[in-house]
Chains A and B, each alone.
Chain A
Amino acid sequence: MTTATLPKPDMPPAPASAPDSLPLTSEQLDRFGEELDAIRGRVLADRGQRDVDYIRGVIRAQRGLEAAGRGLLWAGVFPPAWLAGTAALSLSKILDNMEIGHNVMHGQYEWTNDPKLSGKRFEWDTACPADQWRHSHNYMHHTYTNIVGKDRDIGYGILRMSEDQPWHPYYLGNPLWATLLALFFEYGVALHDLEVERQVKGEIDRSEKRELRRGIWRKVRGQALKDYVFFPALSGPLFVFPLAGNATANVVRNVWAFTIIFCGHFPEGTHEFSEEETENETRGQWYHRQLLGSANLSGGPLFHILAGNLSFQIEHHLFPDLPANRYADISAEVREICERYGLSYNVGPLHRQFGSVVRKIGRLALPGSGGSLFGRAIRAFG
C-alpha cells in the first residue's frame, strides 16, 4: 500500500485515513454506488447516433492516416515524406489501439449491433491477439483492478510496481525493464497471458499455454510481415525507408501507450489491494476500489482522443463499457461526487503523473518501499 498522497495543487487532499481502513461507512458506500449507477443509467439511456458517428469518424481518420502514412513512406527516400509518413502512421496506430481498439473491444459500441463495432470481432493493429486481450484486460484487469496477485497489469509480471510485491534482486533492474517494456510494449501486452514468469517459477506448466502461444505467433507474424516485409518490399531497393518508418511508428505507439497506461494506475496516490480485502465486495466498494486504483490526466480534447480517453481512467474504470467519448461529459459530476464523499480524485497533467510513475519505478527497484536514505537519494535524481 502506498503511503500518504503527496500534496498536489490541483488535487483535493487525500482522505486522512489509510485506504485499507475504509474511510466511508457501508451505508455511505452504498449511496456513493447509487449515485454512480445513476450516472451510468443516464448515459446508457442517452446513447445514440452521436456516439456512432463519433467512433466512425475516428475510424475514418485512422484509415485515412494509415493510407497516407504508407503512401508517404513508400517514397520515404525523401526526408519530408519519411517524416510525414512516419508521423501519420504513428498517429494511425495510436488511434487504432487507444481510441478505437481498446474502446470497441470493451463492447462500448456493441449496442449498435454493427458487426464492425462488435467487441467480439474487432482486431487491432498491434501484436496482441484481440481475443487474448479481451480476457486479460476486460475480464482480469477490469474485474480485479489493482489487486496484487490477480491484476497482471501491475508490472506485467516484469516490474515491481507495488510495495506489496516482495522485493527480489531482479527488481534492481526495474528502470531498465521498464524502459524495455516501454519500447516493446506491444510485445509485453501480447505475452501478457502467457504468464511467463509463473512458467519460469514452475507454478504453471508450459503446455497449458500452447493455444495462446499459437494465437500470439499467428498475430505477431501477420503484423511483422506487413510492417517489416510486405510494405518495405513495395519500395524495392529503397525498402529501408519504409522499414525504418514502420518500426519507428510501432515504437512511438509503444512508448505512448505505455506512458498513458502506466499513468492510469501507478502515479503516487493510487492504491493497490490484497485479495482478502476485496472479497465479497458490494457494488459501492467495487466503485470505491476502481476510484482509488485509477488516476486521470488533464489535457485538451485532442490529447484525450490520442489517449483513447484513458486520460479519464477513473471514469473508464467506473464505467468500462460506456462509450469513451462520454467520459469527458461526466467527469465533472464524478469528481463532484467523489469530493462530496471526501474521496480523492487523482488528476494531473501528463508530465507530473508520468514523473511520479518514473519515480515509483526507481523507488521500488530497491527493497521495501524504497524509503531508505539510498532510495531517497535515487529519487532526488529521478
Chain B
Amino acid sequence: MALKLAQRPKLGFLDAFAVPHGVDGYLEQIDPLLVRGECRAAVSRVERLTPESITLTLRPNRVWRGFEAGQFVRVAVEIEGVRHERCYSPASVEGRGGLEITVKRHPKGLVSNFLVDRARPGMVLGLSLAEGDFRLPRRRPGSILLIGGGSGLTPLTAILRTLLAEGYERPVALLHYAPDPERAIYREELARLAARHSNFKLLRSYTQAPGLGEIDGHFTPTHLPEADPCFAEAETFACGPPALLDAVRGTWANGLEHRLHVESFVPPTFVPVGEGGEGAIRFAESGVEVENSGGSLLEQAEAAGLQPAYGCRMGICHSCTCRKTAGTHRNLITGEVSSAPGEEIQLCVSAALGDVSIEL
C-alpha cells in the first residue's frame, strides 16, 4: 500500500553510479528526509487543542508540492513494524510552509490513537502528495458556506484560514457541529477569527450541551438561513460524519447539487449486493480462487489469505487499485456496474457480480 511515489527525479549520472538502489537508497541512510523519490515529512510541532486530539505541524521534504485548501494527504506511520496509511486533510493555509493536521482519537483507531499518544517532534512520517477534488475553486466564489462536524472540520478550517488570509471580503459562514465545547477542535481560533473578520459568521451547535452555542441540535435546514440568508447561492462545502452529510445532501437534492461539495471521512456502509453473491473470484497472479461472498474484493482477497496493498479502504486513495481482467463488477459507492475488461478498479469499493478475474 505504498504511497504513490512521486515521479523519480532525473539525477542522470548520479543515479548511474547508484544502480540499482538509486541515490535515495544511500541518502536515506544519512537522513530519511533527504530522499528525492518519496514524499516524507518530519513532525516539527505538537499541540493538543482538545484532550482527545493532537495537532501536528509537519515539515515535508522537497518532494512535497503543496496543497489546495480542502484537499487531503495520506499519512503513513509505522506501528510495530507495519506501515499504516490514513487520509488527513491539512487545516493550514494553502501556499504556506507548514503543513498542519489534526488527528482525533477514535475508539478503534489504530493510527489515530498512535499519533495522539506517541507523536513527537522529530518523528518522520510518510506523506503522499495532496489529492482530492474537495477544494476551493481557483476563482473564489461570491459567497461560501461551510458545514462541518468532528474531524471533518479540518479541510473546512484550511478553506476558511486560506480565504481570510488572502483577504477574502465576501460572506463566509461556518456551521460547526460538535458534542460539546471541550471536544470542538479549533474552537478558540475560530472564535478569534469570527471576532476579527466581520464577513465571517460562525454558528456553533453543541449537540450534547444545548444552549452553549449559537444554534442547537443536529443539522437541520432551519440552521441555514441563520448562517446565510442566501445559502442556496453560496458555494457549499460539507465534511463530517455520514449522518450529517446525508442530512446535508438531502437538503441540496433539489437542483442545487452543483453548489454542494462533500467530503466523507468515514467508510460508507455497504449495502450487501443482492445479486452479487454468486460466481467465483479469481486472483490470477496468486493462483487463488474463492467463492464470491458479495463483499468488497479487498475483503475477499484478505479473507483468502492474500495481502493486497491497501490504504484508505474507502475508495479515495487508490492504493488497492488492481486490474480486472474479466467479469463484471459494481462500484459500492456509486453503484455503477461495469463489464469492461482491463479496468483498473479499486478493490476496497468494488464487488463482483458473478465470475471476476483480478490481477492480484
A contact set with B: CB distance below 8 Å: 47-53, 60, 63-64, 67, 110-115, 118, 121, 123-125, 130, 219, 222-223, 225-226, 230-231
Contact = CB atoms under 8 A, between A and B. Distances in A.
Contacts, number: 64
B1 interface: yes
Given A113-B309, A115-B5, A60 B29 contact: yes
A51 B81 CA distance: 8
16 contacts: A63-B21, A63-B26, A63-B29, A64-B29, A110-B307, A112-B82, A113-B83, A113-B309, A114-B2, A114-B78, A115-B2, A115-B3, A125-B21, A222-B20, A223-B20, A231-B17
B357 to A, nearest CB: 19
B25 interface: yes
B81 A63 contact: no
Nearest to A96: B21
A115 B74 CA distance: 15
Interface in B30-66: 38
Nearest to B38: A115
Interface in B121-172: none
Nearest to A114: B83
Interface residues of B, number: 24
Contacts of B26: 63, 67
A230 B82 contact: no
Contacts of B83: 112-114
A64 B21 CA distance: 13
B16 A226 contact: yes
B80 interface: yes
Given A60-B29, A113-B1, A118-B2, A226 B17 contact: yes
A226 B19 contact: yes
6 A-B pairs with least C-beta separation? A115-B2, A52-B81, A113-B83, A123-B20, A49-B81, A222-B19
Nearest to B3: A115
B250 to A, nearest CB: 38
B25 A63 contact: yes
Nearest to A51: B81
Contacts of B29: 60, 63-64
B259 interface: no
Contacts of B3: 115
B223 interface: no
Contacts of A222: 16, 19-20
Interface of B: 1-3, 5, 13, 16-17, 19-21, 25-26, 29, 38, 76, 78, 80-85, 307, 309
Interface centre among A51, A52, A124, A219, by most B CB within 10 Å? A52
Nearest to B18: A226
Given A67-B26, A115-B5, 17 more contacts: A48-B81, A48-B82, A63-B21, A63-B26, A111-B82, A112-B78, A112-B83, A113-B2, A113-B82, A113-B84, A114-B78, A118-B2, A125-B21, A223-B19, A223-B20, A225-B19, A226-B16
Contacts of B76: 113
Contacts of A226: 16-17, 19
Nearest to B319: A113
Nearest to A323: B81
B214 to A, nearest CB: 45
Contacts of A113: 1-2, 76, 82-85, 309
Given A67-B26, A113-B1, A223-B19, A48 B80 contact: yes
Interface centre among B19, B82, B83, B309, by most A CB within 10 Å? B19
A230 B12 CA distance: 12
B128 to A, nearest CB: 12
Contacts of B2: 113-115, 118, 121
A66 to B, nearest CB: 8
Contacts of A48: 80-82
B80 A49 contact: yes
B307 A111 contact: yes
A110 B26 CA distance: 21
B259 to A, nearest CB: 39
B20 A47 contact: no
Given A63-B29, A113-B1, A115-B38, A225 B16 contact: yes
Contacts of B81: 47-53, 112
Contacts of B84: 113
A230 B16 contact: yes
A196 to B, nearest CB: 24
A50 B17 CA distance: 32
A336 B234 CA distance: 74
Nearest to A226: B19
A112 to B, nearest CB: 6
A53 B26 CA distance: 17
A35 to B, nearest CB: 20
A1 to B, nearest CB: 29
B61 to A, nearest CB: 15
Nearest to A100: B21
A123 B8 CA distance: 15
A64 B5 CA distance: 25
Interface centre among A114, A123, A222, A225, by most B CB within 10 Å? A114
Contacts of B82: 48, 111-113
A49 B3 CA distance: 20
Contacts of A111: 82, 307
B55 to A, nearest CB: 26
A230 B1 contact: no
Contacts of A130: 20
A222 B19 CA distance: 7
Given A115-B2, A115-B38, A230 B17 contact: yes
A219 B20 CA distance: 9
A145 to B, nearest CB: 17
A129 B17 CA distance: 17
Given A63-B26, A67-B26, A125 B1 contact: no
Nearest to A229: B16
A52 B13 CA distance: 32
A230 to B, nearest CB: 5
A296 to B, nearest CB: 27
Interface centre among B16, B81, B83, B309, by most A CB within 10 Å? B81
B279 to A, nearest CB: 26
Contacts of A115: 2-3, 5, 38
